[in-house]
Structure 1
Amino acid sequence: MGLAQVVLLLLSLLGTAGGAADAHWGAGHPRVCFFEPLGSQDAELCRGELEVVYPELGDVGCTYIPACRRYRWRLGREWSSPCVRYARAQQDKKYVLVMVDPDAPSRADPSQRFWRHWLVSDIRGTDLRAGRPRGHVLTEYARPAPPARSGYHRYQLRLYEQPAHEAVALSTAELLSRGAWSMERFVERFRLGSPVASTQFLTKHDGD
């Protein structure tokens, strides 16, 4: 849990932070906004201290996005791309950031795995250390907005070290659709290897 999440939870417990909780506690009780950590299986992807920071939420890595304060709605319809920070990035290297949904259209039937939400190459290590993943945007950021009644979706962010002098690009066929993207083939094609850091958060349709 990030520092901002801890502060928000403490303020909620003191009754100074607004917003409805997932469950109503009744009159006179504080409304608490819990940031539940992922279970052990989903948490396995959280490696390398990659920070993904949205407004008010702080670092969402390895957590469920709560329904309170309309966070799921705002994540899917209001907020733009997050600040992504990797404190261990090397200043003289470049990186590739991938954000995908492996549960499209649902975790039970992921026929559109991997749905590409964001893809940026040529990110300088200095920018990553500052939380600014600026570089060559191959796929513009698309907000996490799972379909209604499709359950929780995992939104995975993987950071790769970009080989020196390697130009990373999508093929014409890949540009035609974000869905059913072969992320593994892309990684192999550009010799990206294993991620140097990765994380994920889970959210679902705000009306579910």
Structure 2
Amino acid sequence: MRPLGALFLAALLTGATAPWPDEPSRTCFFQMLSGGDSFFCRGDLEVIYPELGDVSCSYIPKCHQYRERISREWGSPRVRYPQADKGANLRTGDIKGHVLTDYVRPTPPPRSGYHRYQLLLHEQPAHEAITLSPEERISLGSWAMESFVKQFRLGTPVASTQFLTKNHQD
């Protein structure tokens, strides 16, 4: 038997489906971040989108229109921190509280490569009200994070994570 015939027969015997050119692959691979990008991910902070699950420390794949759906359909992800000392809401991802800025979907421009979407979890000092100035409120999160952390004495993040995605057409 020739090698191609043996490969096809092996695929049939194992139940694998061969991705023919006119049939899109049903398999979707999630690639985890590596190197410096993975170093940013610490503390098991989870970012959960529908159908995708936890995207922490990973690339958003193009398959199943995930990149398009994350930037055009799905609302804010559920954010969980299972190691939270207090507050079951943070452990389950059903966070309730005062929203400083509304969620804005990831929308990287076409042909601009991968963009990082980072989440940092800081412990709020007891009895400290955190607010944004009117300028910060209308800036959609483009204010200086370092100044914000210093102003409210938030210190080092308890946990942090990120995911990378491209424009859905790339």
TM range (shorter): 0.7 to 0.9
Match of 1:195 among 150, 157, 162: 157
Distance 1:67 1:29 in 2: 12
The answer for the alignment partner of 2:48 in structure 1 is: 53
Distance 2:100 2:23 in 1: 51
The answer for the alignment partner of 1:83 in structure 2 is: 78
Distance 1:41 1:155 in 2: 15
Q: 1:205 to 1:30 in 2, by over 3 A?
A: closer
The answer for the alignment partner of 1:35 in structure 2 is: 30
Larger radius of gyration: 2
Match of 1:177 among 121, 135, 139: 139
Q: 1:29 to 1:75 in 2, by over 3 A?
A: closer
Identify unmatched segments of 5+ residues in structure 2: 1-14
Greater relative CO, 1 or 2 (CA 8 Å, sep 6+):
2
Offset from partner CA, 1:135-156 (integer Å, 9 cap, x none): 1001011111111111110000
Distance 1:157 1:56 in 2: 20
The answer for the alignment partner of 2:9 in structure 1 is: none
Deviation at 1:32, TM superposition (A): 2.0
Q: What's the % identity of the aligned pairs?
A: 60
Deviation at 1:130, TM superposition (A): 1.2
Q: 1:136 to 1:148 in 2, by over 3 A?
A: same
Matched, 1:44 2:6: no
Match of 1:151 among 97, 113, 116: 113
Q: 1:58 to 1:173 in 2, by over 3 A?
A: same
* Structure 1 or 2: more helix by fraction: 2
The answer for the alignment partner of 1:137 in structure 2 is: 99
Equivalent residue of 1:169, what SS?
A: coil
5 Å-filtered alignment, 1:69-148, equals 69-91=64-86, 125-148=87-110
Deviation at 1:172, TM superposition (A): 1.9
Deviation at 1:29, TM superposition (A): 8.4
Distance 1:50 1:167 in 2: 23
Identify unmatched segments of 5+ residues in structure 1: 1-12, 16-23, 92-124
Letter in 2 for 1:75: I
CA contact (8 A) 1:25 1:31 kept: no
Q: 1:29 to 1:205 in 2, by over 3 A?
A: closer
CA contact (8 A) 2:60 2:67 kept: yes
Distance 2:54 2:45 in 1: 9
Distance 1:25 1:44 in 2: 38
With structure 2 as the length reference, what TM-score do the two structures score? 0.85
Letter in 2 for 1:76: S
